[in-house]
A and B are shown apart, each in its own frame.
Chain A
């Protein structure tokens, strides 16, 4: 299958597909980070994660609309504000959902799965009623458009680079938060032993709510970043939920590093194969590989060594 390409062409192909894979990787990382916090740390299956992401995307869409209508002078910086707003909106909704629903279901993980699926249906229909069934897209400010010519056959899209930087930044922030802050210590303590954590004076209910809200907020930012690469419709979130869950499970549910590693391998495999076969087949093969590896190694790539 490589015979018809010259070696330099082959190099460019791999480089280009590698870059495409890196962009996919960044999106996966952004989506999976929120999920890794919620699922990996709290053990809650949030099937509505995609819808939180889409909430962020719609907030970005609204912000861009407001800026282009009322504040065209500041249009070039709207994206920063949009991301902050997306984070706040998704986190607020997340806190509300945790208070109303999730906290009653912590001891029944399979039931959270069904309840949050119901939530996702309701959110989808809400988006459809409010924003209409058609997909919406945002206008990017000038500095995010175009691409950067690396060599004559390899070019890097700027919005892709921006998403990559964003993914990197957020991953670092989450890692710092989880492993270098007091709050992160509390979260990990609650995960490892809830009654003991409560006994030493940690308000476990509050930790849960903040953790859930943070995970949802990161999903909102992911959705905001997502608008740069694709358009947003009411059901866009559902398209990614399975991939995202597989990324988290494949990486080893409670390991952030594992999540990033698995997002990297899955996205690279998929985008490299995409060049040689149809998109659907490459996706099928990737998912199948992941499922097979999970059958052989159910605990995922990276695991915390805890005695259960």
Chain B
């Protein structure tokens, strides 16, 4: 990519926010936290994948999916199935009545591995499945809904129903899925113990790396023509359609991208936390993922990462010290983020902090390098790019047809 192309993809302001985030995730947090806390941060970051996907779908595309937990779960379960199969080799499961199958199948009187488990012996297939399964499902849902111009509220309700269906299915089919306990007791990846501190460090950095890959993809989509079309569609769908664009294809695409991000997050969750269960898939976690995105700012992909980190951090510390207050705090957060600051942290930053920060840097850099040649103007003209980001609320996001 040429330098010019790079600069248009990552303008200075975005570049700085990427760098600051990278500094925090790669340097500050690993140096200041012990491995237990760092592992927690890694777990929170897996939700950031979902939140970034939601920024694209909801903030830019105006499609609110309340079923991102489904994709998170698909990715997580695919990875968990692979790890579970590796953990249940005939040697370590020889006390079971059927050695060589996962323990929960044995408890449920299943005597041979179901056919859809077979391919998950292969790591390559598993990785492929993590990407492809959510894409296919997202595509089917997208084609069925967007081609018929179903959007907004109806889409939200139907995706929520899908999250409910998947949870009930997983809990009901205990023999095939591990039921309500989920898939636990995952041990090794290609013989490498995933429960050691060493492995946790590695997974944390892999997670950060993948998150940045997703962030760059999201940034690319945001800055490309597609990103502009998405915003246009969100604000006035009919006008885009009348301009000759097939609106539904863009929606399907961005929904699939969100689904893949969520699935990668799910797979990383399984690797870092060591289990997967239906409580991470259902209605409640799915809607919580939306709040991560909303708190960070529905129009800011970097904000989504901070949102996921902060809300989860608050959740952990609240539930440790005042468990009964957590739901009040969470409920209040939902209401506040909608009524008081609809653009989330990013919106607050852009309104209150950004001018000060810009002025500070302008002062810092503006004075030293050009101090001699320029006439003594005390404040260099404000950078004009502070307000390039659209911070207005999506008006009329929804037009049910």
Contacts and interface: CB of A to CB of B under 8 A. Distances in A.
Interface of A: 43, 45, 101, 104-105, 107-115, 117-122, 124-125, 128-129, 238, 242, 245-246, 249, 278-281, 283-284, 287-288, 290-291, 294-296, 298, 308
Interface residues of B, number: 51
A249 B334 contact: no
B40 to A, nearest CB: 23
A118 B172 contact: no
Contacts of A128: 324, 327
A291 B165 CA distance: 10
14 contacts: A108-B393, A109-B153, A114-B337, A115-B339, A118-B333, A119-B334, A120-B331, A121-B334, A125-B331, A249-B154, A278-B172, A291-B158, A294-B154, A295-B148
Nearest to B153: A109
A290 B141 CA distance: 14
Q: Which of B145, B328, B331 has most A Cβ within 10 Å?
A: B331
Contacts of B171: 280
Interface string B328-352: 1011111101110010000000000
Interface in B136-171: 141, 144-145, 148-150, 152-154, 156-158, 160-162, 164-165, 168-169, 171
B214 interface: no
Contacts of A109: 152-153, 398
Contacts of A113: 64, 66, 153, 156
Contacts of B284: 238
Nearest to A122: B331
Contact of A110 (B156, B160, B401): B156
Contacts of B144: 295-296
Contacts of A118: 330-335, 338
Given A107-B396, A246-B157, A291-B158, 8 more contacts: A114-B290, A115-B334, A118-B331, A122-B328, A128-B324, A280-B168, A294-B154, A295-B145
Contact of A111 (B145, B161, B168, B338): B338
Contacts of A107: 395-396
Contacts of B395: 107
Q: Which 8 A-B pairs have the closest CB atoms?
A: A118-B334, A280-B172, A121-B331, A122-B331, A295-B144, A125-B327, A298-B150, A118-B331
Nearest to A120: B331
Given A104-B339, A280-B169, A45 B153 contact: yes
Nearest to A246: B161
Contacts of A101: 335, 339
B294 interface: yes
A246 B163 CA distance: 13
Nearest to B284: A238
Contacts of B396: 107
B283 interface: yes
B287 A117 contact: yes
B157 A287 contact: no
Main SS at interface, chain A: helix
Contacts of A112: 338
Contact of B161 (A43, A114, A290): A290
A114 B168 contact: no
B291 interface: yes
Contacts of B64: 110, 113
A244 to B, nearest CB: 10
Given A128-B324, A298-B145, A298-B148, A114 B291 contact: yes
B174 to A, nearest CB: 10
Given A114-B337, A284-B169, A245 B160 contact: yes
Given A109-B152, A280-B168, A291 B335 contact: no
Nearest to A112: B338
Nearest to B398: A109
B308 interface: no
B397 interface: yes
Contacts of B161: 242, 245-246, 287, 290-291
Nearest to A283: B168
Contacts of A295: 141, 144-145, 148, 158
B335 A119 contact: yes
Contact of B401 (A104, A294, A308): A308
Contact of A122 (B148, B327, B337): B327
Nearest to B141: A295
Given A101-B335, A118-B330, A246-B157, A125 B165 contact: no
A283 B338 CA distance: 33
A242 B283 contact: yes
Contacts of B150: 298
A88 B115 CA distance: 56
Contact of B327 (A114, A121, A246): A121
A63 B294 CA distance: 41
Interface string B280-301: 0001100100110010000000
